[in-house]
Structures are given as C-alpha cells and as structure tokens.
Amino acid sequence: MRYRKIPDETIRRLPVYLRGVLHLSEQGMESVSSRKLGGLVGVPPWLIRKDFSYFGDFGTPGIGYGIKTLIKQISKILRLDVMHEAAVVGVGNVGSALLSYSGFGIYGFRISAAFDVDKRKVGKVRSGVKIEDVSTLRGVKKRGIRLGIIAVPAAVAQQVADEMVEAGIIGILNFSPRYITVPKKVKVITIDIGMDLARLPYYLPCG
Amino acid sequence: MRYRKIPDETIRRLPVYLRGVLHLSEQGMESVSSRKLGGLVGVPPWLIRKDFSYFGDFGTPGIGYGIKTLIKQISKILRLDVMHEAAVVGVGNVGSALLSYSGFGIYGFRISAAFDVDKRKVGKVRSGVKIEDVSTLRGVKKRGIRLGIIAVPAAVAQQVADEMVEAGIIGILNFSPRYITVPKKVKVITIDIGMDLARLPYYLPCG
DNA sequence: CAGTGTGAACAGTTTCACAGCA
DNA sequence: TGCTGTGAAACTGTTCACACTG
C-alpha cells in the first residue's frame, strides 16, 4: 500500500505511538506486536498496522515491530530528528507553565526564547530562559527559530500572530482562545482548553 | 434532515460557533449569515448550514440566523445552560494556570475544588479556591462535582483517574501526557500539548 | 503458528448543487 | 434577490478478513 496519501489522522496518531514505544524502550524491550502496543496506547491493532503500512514494511511477521526501528522511523517521519527551537510570546500563567513543561524534550523541542510586553518582566529569567521585550521579536529569524507559541490574551493574539509571520515564523502553536488567520504557508495549531471542556457535558449521561 | 445521528465533528465545532456568536452579540449584532459567521470562525458556510440543520430550522432564508437563538440553542445542545462544577487534582504549574484561567466562565464552567498531595500546599488558597488534601477527593460527589481535571505528573495520572472514578466523577479532562483507561461510562478528553507540538514539524516546509 | 500487510467493504464527513422561502 | 436547508455525490478514514511470511 505504498505511495498513497497519508491521512492526517495517521499523522495525529504517530506521536502517540512514539510515546508508547519510548516507554517500552525504557523498560528494555526490543520488539512489540501491534496488539501489545495497541493495548498500551489505546488504538486498535489493525489500525496500528494500517498506519505503519503507509510508510513501508516496519514489522516482521510472527514477531512484531522492532522498537528501535519504530523510534527512528517515526521520529524521521515527524521530522523530530532535528532539534527545533521555539519562541513563546506572553509569559503569564500559560507562558510560564510552558517554559517549565518538560514534555517537549522527548520530541526534540525546546523553548529557547520568551517575549513579553510587561517591562517589569523583561530581563528576568524563567526556567532558564531570559524574557525579552516583544518589540525585538523579529530577531528570532537570525537565531534559527521557526516555531512560535502564542500565550497572550485573546485581544492581542492576532496582532502577535502577524508579528510572528513577519518575523519569519512558519509554525504557530496558538494557546489563545481565538481563531487566528495567517498566510497559508504558515501552519497553525490552536489549543483551546475552553473548547474541549465545553464539549464534555454533551457526552455526559443525565442532564 | 432532522432525527439523524449528529456527527462528533459537528459537536466539536459547536463551541467554535458559540464563541463566534457570543463575540457578535457583544458587538450588538442581532443576526448573522452562514457566510459571515464562517469568515469569523474559519469554517465554510455550507458546513455551518449543514451542522445547524441537524438540530432543526435555526435560520431565516434571505436573512440568516438570529444570534440570540443561536446562543440559546447551542448552549442547550451542549448542556452549558446549567452550571458545571469541576475539581482539579494537582496544583502545580498546569493546575495553577487552570485555576486562574478565566475562559471557563462563558461555557458555564467553574473549578470549585482543588486537590494536591503536597502538605505544604494544602490549606492555601489559589485564585479563590482552597487547596485540599487529595485523600479527601471522594467527598466531591456530595458537593455535586461530576467533572475532574487531571493536572498531575504522568506517573500518577492513572491512579488519580481511578480515584476520580471511585469518587463519582463521570467526565475527565486529562492534562497529563498519558493515555488513561476508565470504565466506558466515563468520558475522557486528553489534552497533551507535547502531542500537538510534535505534529507541527511534519507540516512545515523544508526539512 | 503468531503476527504483519493489504484489498475490499463499510462508516463517517464534507462538498456540491439547487429547490424553496422571506 | 439573498440566504437557508438538504439529498446526492465525492471523499476520507476505519474495520474486517485473510493471504502471506519469518
């Protein structure tokens, strides 16, 4: 089934698989079946096999998938094998939490710059990163930063996004509760916990 | 097209529409066309019409949709018209950020309880909520809390989830980077920023 | 024989075109 | 005329069954 378009949903599941096999790798395992991996990460075995089949023959019939192979291949597909630097704009509650979040590391990510408008914050250090004035944002291009994280109030989110695009950012993770519009060469992923929380009651039994 | 099963994807978009019409309502508007709303929230007009059509005839041909009607109907469908109380477990960086996040309000949500294992935190107040010892979690049922928020390290996430289920929680928002398994009567939504960030590089141009 | 890889059937979602209404 | 509501077509993703392989 090679040479076919890869579903977005498959891409969405790859990080899930990666985390699962990293976990198994830490425990010293060398191979895993689709059934076992599925049990670990909550995805049915046939879907795992289908997903992996888009990228070639990862597995060995009768045995399963080599864990080292999986880690290497998935990382490569997701382009996590090179280090990515990200800049966060807005060092409030959300921005601070992100700076201290350790989960980025295993995906080859690092927040290496932080910006804020608040003069009192500028110059201080949070989680080892110096806070800079937001007016100097366009300097990030020279520092090799291509990813931006928006952690500012909704009212200024679009403005920050525009500045990021101008500064050469090509991928944005948006934590503000606003849809933002950017040129289509720029990829935006919006994370809005309010949206997710609002969906929850619908699925609950009783009124 | 009434009386048909409502797609999950439609439910996912309802909070997006709601936020859009709330925004328009604040600006004093009384009605909006699918084209205009679509431009605001980033969804194509025909999809908006299709989504709304699952719930009956919201709109008026030639005019559009009444904004007050939309707010009332969407809130009712999502069951946001009643106040929901939530309890957060883990008052670290993520937990603290959630406690101070003001976005829950417009969806009729409130975090009215907070729990932690750290004795030094217990008894203190964050964003107006007193931090309680996690061992008293099962008391939340009596207080009418049915939603739980997991904001603890990955290693103890499953344990906390089990305790939540035992405490009568029927909806869980999971902020830990772990899939958790619960009885199927319980609905879980997992938010994992690492997963989203890991997806981003795949969509970026150049290597 | 256990477990992968995959074509084909199935299910869910989006897009389109247009009838019908204010 | 402008806009909604919707069946049908097109598309995307999931499930299944089983041939095949180490």
Interval A148-192: pLDDT, tens: 999 999 889 989 999 999 999 998 999 987 777 787 788 888 888
A97 and A72, same domain (yes or no): no
- In 3D space, the residue among B96, B89, B175, B97 whose CA is nearest the CA of residue B132 turns out to be B89
Amino acid at B161: A
Residue B128's pLDDT is 96
In the β-sheet with A147-150, what is the strand arrangement from edge to edge?
Answer: A125-126, A129-133, A109-116, A84-89, A147-150, A171-174, A187-190
Whether A189 maps to a domain, the answer reads yes
The CATH number assigned to the domain holding A114 equals 3.40.50.720
Question: Domain check: are A111 and A176 in the same one?
Answer: yes
What CATH number does residue A36 fall under?
1.10.10.10
A191 and A95 housed in the same domain: yes
**pLDDT given at position B207:** 46
Q: Which structural domain, as residue segments, surrounds residue A170?
A: 84-195
Residue A61 and residue A99 in one domain: no
Give pLDDT, residue B198: 87
Residue A83 is predicted with a pLDDT of 86
Residue A59 is predicted with a pLDDT of 95
Distance from CA of A59 to the nearest CA of B (A): 23
Say whether pTM exceeds 0.85.
no
- Measured between CA atoms, how close is A41 to chain B, in angstroms? 6
Confirm whether A32 is domain-assigned.
yes
* Positions of chain D reached by protein Cβ under 7 A: 1-7, 12-17, 20-22
- One domain for residues B187 and B95: yes
**Domain termination site, one of B19, B52, B77:** B77
Top pLDDT among B154 and A6 is at A6
All residues at 6 or more sequence positions from B111 whose CB lies less than 8 Å from its CB, including other chains: B85, B86, B87, B88, B98, B99, B104, B129, B149
Evaluate whether residue B206 is within a structural domain.
no
**What CA–CA distance (Å, rounded) separates A58 from A127?**
39
pLDDT for A198? 87
Rounded distance in angstroms from the CA atom of residue A195 to the C1' atom of nucleotide C14: 22
Domain count, chain B: 2
Euclidean distance between the first and the last CA atom of chain B, given in angstroms as a whole number: 46
Query: Is A144 found in the same domain as A56?
Result: no
- Averages of pLDDT over each 10 residues, chain B, 207 residues: 80 94 95 95 94 94 97 94 92 93 76 97 97 97 94 91 95 84 81 84 72
Q: In this predicted structure, what is the pLDDT of residue A3? A: 63
In angstroms, the separation between the Cα of residue A143 and the nearest Cα of chain B is: 17
- pLDDT (0 to 100) of residue A84: 87
- The domain boundary residue, chosen from B27, B56, B77: B77
Residues B89 and B73 in one domain: no
Cβ proximity of A36 and A89 under 8 Å: no
Residue B27, pLDDT score: 94
- Cβ contacts (< 8 Å) between B19 and chain A: which residues? 177, 194-195
> pLDDT at position A207, please?
47
Query: Tokens 């291009």 — which residue?
Result: A141
Same domain for B116 and B175, yes or no, is yes
* Residue in A18, A84, A201 closest to B201 by CB: A84
User: Does residue B200 sit within a domain?
Assistant: no
Residues A186, A109 within the same domain = yes
Predicted confidence (pLDDT) per residue in A45-99, tens digit: 999 999 999 999 999 999 999 999 999 999 999 999 888 899 999 999 899 989 9
> Which site among A5, A126, A202 would you substitute to test the B interface, given the most B Cβ atoms closer than 10 Å to its Cβ?
A202
Say yes or no: A44 and A118 in one domain.
no
Give pLDDT, residue A197: 80
Q: Residue B89: name the closest of B17, B8, B145 by CA.
A: B145
pLDDT at A2 over 60: no
Interface touch B202/A93, C-beta < 8 Å: no
